[in-house]
Amino acid sequence: MMNALPKNNNKPEDKRRLAGNPRLKFVILALVFFLAGVALSAFWFSRPPAPVASDSENPVALSEATKAVLQHLDSPVEIRFYSMLAASGVPDSVQAYAGRAGQLLAQYEQVAGGKVRVVRCDSLAEAGANAAEADGISAFNMDKGDACFLGIAVVCGNQKESLPRLAPEWEQALEPDLTRAIARAAAAKQGAPSPARIDSATLEAVRRSIPNFDAVSLQEGTQVLREAGRTQFQQATVEIQAQVKEARQRFLQAQAGQSEAAQQAAREQLRRVQSEAADRLKQIALNSHLQIAALQQIKQTAP
């Protein structure tokens, strides 16, 4: 069913099925950059991917970093989930993964307390394909039949972040990638300065972050800055998990000691840790946004 997704009046190519479709080059490039990005998330997880539980007794458990971001959102966020998979030609593993991804998104919606709305599209009709393409979702399976889409777009105000192609082999990277996309979109919507007002310190930081700056293209430089932001986000998440765990242990100790004052102090500390964690992650996302905007300014004004 198609529900409240943006419309695109430009009709797609009549022969989307053909492998020679002129859009195929763009699809392949988008997939290459996507896989290159999520590879950095994958190294963060030392354990092999584990399927998300599908029964009600074992609901999907979001990380503390994700909870902190969701519970401190300042603006509503819409997550557009495109799970448009043909019955034939798509492996069962991909179909099952799409179901687990949908369960994960349901947890985002629940934990956010009304600040996150998930819009789902599973229709293979032309309108669905147009909407997916407009949101930057990559088509696949075109050589076997109708174009399929499995991706996510995050929208906050006029800011949009996309996960163009979800794949089972990168399942463990989905939550950190999605949370980072939400934080980045929310931070940018919150009032990032325009490129014309970006300070000289940010511009200088961008130049220091990119080796051989003058020889690097805008696309290559953007990728470098996104990867740097991804690494910072992951390191912060590991530290946040440890801080929240410690705060919870103190609260449990206070409960065991039956001290109401100690419980209240531990409870306040846990809230403070979660609030500071959300602010830290949003600041990392905002800095990444500013640096990319600064890069665009430098490259576009270069002689």
Pairwise CA distance, residues 146 & 18, whole Å: 9
Report whether 124 contacts 111 (CB < 8 A).
Answer: no
Asked which of 28-42, 119-133, 157-171, 267-281 is least confident by mean pLDDT, the reply is 28-42
Whether the predicted pLDDT of 109 surpasses 90? yes
The torsion angles phi and psi of 117, rounded to 5 degrees, stand at: -120, 125
**Angle ∠(57,61,153) on CA atoms, nearest 5:** 120
pLDDT digits (tens, 9 = 90+) for 209-236: 888 888 888 888 888 887 887 788 778 8
* 231: number of Cβ within 10 Å: 15
Mean pLDDT of 260-288: 80
The torsion angles phi and psi of 82, rounded to 5 degrees, stand at: -100, 105
pLDDT of the residue at 134? 93
**What is the pLDDT confidence band of residue 15, given thresholds at 50, 70 and 90?**
very low
Whether the predicted pLDDT of 120 surpasses 90? yes
**What is the pLDDT confidence band of residue 302, given thresholds at 50, 70 and 90?**
low
Pairwise CA distance, residues 245 & 40, whole Å: 25
The single residue listed with the structure tokens 């705060």 is 247
Percentage of the chain beyond pLDDT 70 is 76
Structure tokens at 303: 């002689």
Residues 6 or more apart whose CB falls under 8 angstroms from that of 50 comprise 172
Pairing state of beta strands 148-156 and 159-163? antiparallel
pLDDT digits (tens, 9 = 90+) for 126-185: 888 999 999 999 999 888 777 899 999 999 988 899 999 999 998 988 998 899 889 888
Asked which of 68-77, 95-104, 286-295 is least confident by mean pLDDT, the reply is 286-295
Structure tokens at 99: 């179901």
DSSP string, the chain: ---SPPP--SPPPTTTTSTT-TTHHHHHHHHHHHHHHHHHHHTT--SPP-PPP-STTS-----HHHHHHHHT-SS-EEEEEEEE--SSSS-HHHHHHHHHHHHHHHHHHHHTTTSEEEEEE---SHHHHHHHHHTTPPEE-TTTSS-EEEEEEEEETTEEEEE----GGGHHHHHHHHHHHHHHHHHHHTTPPPGGG--HHHHHHHHHHSTTGGGS-HHHHHHHHHHHHHHHHHHHHHHHHHHHHHHHHHHHHHHHTT-HHHHHHHHHHHHHHHHHHHHHHHHHHHHHHHHHHHHHHHHHH--
Whether the predicted pLDDT of 105 surpasses 90? yes
Whether the predicted pLDDT of 53 surpasses 70? no
Best-predicted range by mean pLDDT (111-115, 285-289, 296-300): 111-115
Whether the predicted pLDDT of 95 surpasses 90? yes
pLDDT of the residue at 50? 37
Structure tokens at 149: 């889409």
**What is the pLDDT confidence band of residue 198, given thresholds at 50, 70 and 90?**
low
Q: State the pTM of this model.
A: 0.58
Structure tokens at 164: 């163009």
**More confident: 270 or 112:** 112
**What is the pLDDT confidence band of residue 25, given thresholds at 50, 70 and 90?**
very low
Structure tokens at 151: 């991706």
Mean pLDDT of 102-108: 95
